[in-house]
Amino acid sequence: MIQTKNVGRDIGQGLKSLVGGELATYTEMMNESRAIATKRMVEDAERMGADAIVALRYGTSAIAAGATEVFAYGTAVRFV
């Protein structure tokens, strides 16, 4: 999942980075992105008939200025 915020917020967060502190808009964006990536992973596991997902991990990478890729992965398992 790749997500970005609008230019106005991007400029505001850039100014905030000059004085320090939490970049709340980006924190919110990352939380939303993780939630969406998790939801997609769970949906994929359910389609495969999985009962659970183990060893869940998240990763991120910068795609472009103000855009970040978030991915979630784990092992889908079935109980017997």
Exposure string of 31-44, with b = 16+ CB inside 10 Å and e = fewer, is eebbeebbeebbee
- pLDDT value at position 55? 97
In this prediction, residue 39 carries a pLDDT of 96
Q: How many domains does the chain have?
A: 1
User: What's the pLDDT tens digit per position in 55-65?
Assistant: 999 999 887 77
**Res 19: pLDDT:** 62
Q: Which domain, by its residues, includes 20?
A: 2-77
Which residues, given as ranges, of the chain have pLDDT below 70?
A: 1-20, 66
